[in-house]
Amino acid sequence: MPYRRLPNTDAARIRAMRIALEKGRDVPPINMAYSPKIIVRLQKFLPLFENMISLQRQSFASQTVKSKEYLEIVRKARLYLTHFIKVMNMAVCRGDLPVETRAFYGLATNESIIPSLNTENELISWGKRIIEGEEYRLRKGGSPITNPTIAVVKVRYQNFLDAWNFQKTLVRRTLEYTEKNCMMRKEADEIITQIWNEVETTHNSLPEEKRMAESENYGIVYFYRKNELNRSVASSDAQSTIWP
């Protein structure tokens, strides 16, 4: 016996509810296969669900596009900070700056290593140290490091911070839409199940083929199991065979 299968995608859920709603609008209430109370609920719920799905898709698409721009901004900020530290270390190696210069940035005075800037948190932390350290050193009368200057580094760092905050907002918004959609999907499944149950109950006294046809008009989707499908095909082939 064929079995029904509830929609498992948002598009399929929307399609099932649209079919049921259109049927509810076309058929007189006395001939409806499901209760008018559900039609009222469906009319209120379906536009909200469609809108929320649309908002989630738009938010995710925007997040994806902005992610590419964001990664480039992160790369530039990391590059300028790295170059600034390298230039400072080369000046120390040449003797143009004293080894104590490194202490202004929170770096070990006896090492010329570049701190890890792989993560966003590391980039935020070290960027702040480097910029504040250089500005303080300059106020103390130190000669400025150039190519890049701290002003240029600061611009790249601020661009990164702005992009990082914006990206967090996009991610948070997408997550909020996803969570809301998760809750709304449960309600959509509940509404569809209730409609399909009532439709099948209404058509229960009809012969199987007619019952299925009438129920499918309300959006119910039936599937044959593999063995049933094979039998159905075999039966159809047998009926179409012309005997001499």
Task: Count how many domains the chain has.
Answer: 1
pLDDT higher than threshold 70 for residue 106: yes
Task: Indicate whether 95 belongs to any domain.
Answer: yes
Contacts for 213-218 with beta carbons within 8 Å, 24 or more apart?
Answer: 214/33, 215/33, 217/23, 218/19, 218/20, 218/23, 218/33, 218/34
Q: Which two tokens stand for residue 26?
A: 């076309």
Q: Which two tokens stand for residue 93?
A: 């190696």
Bridge-based pairing of strands 3-4 and 222-223 is: antiparallel
User: Residues 112-124: what's their mean pLDDT?
Assistant: 96
What was the pLDDT predicted at 140? Answer: 94
Averaged pLDDT score across all residues of the chain: 90
Task: Indicate whether 234 belongs to any domain.
Answer: no
Task: Indicate whether 242 belongs to any domain.
Answer: no
Say which CATH number the domain at 176 has.
1.20.1260
User: Residues 199-205: what's their mean pLDDT?
Assistant: 92
What was the pLDDT predicted at 230? Answer: 52
User: Cα–Cα distance between 95 and 107 in angstroms, integer?
Assistant: 17
pLDDT higher than threshold 50 for residue 45: yes
Task: Indicate whether 127 belongs to any domain.
Answer: yes
pLDDT tens string 220-239: 998 877 765 555 444 444 44
Q: What is the DSSP letter of 106?
A: T
Task: Indicate whether 223 belongs to any domain.
Answer: no
**pTM for this predicted structure:** 0.72
Comparing 12 with 31, the larger pLDDT belongs to 12
Domain of 103? 3-215
Task: Indicate whether 238 belongs to any domain.
Answer: no
Task: Indicate whether 221 belongs to any domain.
Answer: no
User: Cα–Cα distance between 45 and 30 in angstroms, integer?
Assistant: 23
pLDDT tens string 136-189: 999 999 999 999 999 999 999 999 999 999 999 999 999 999 999 999 999 999
Task: Indicate whether 235 belongs to any domain.
Answer: no
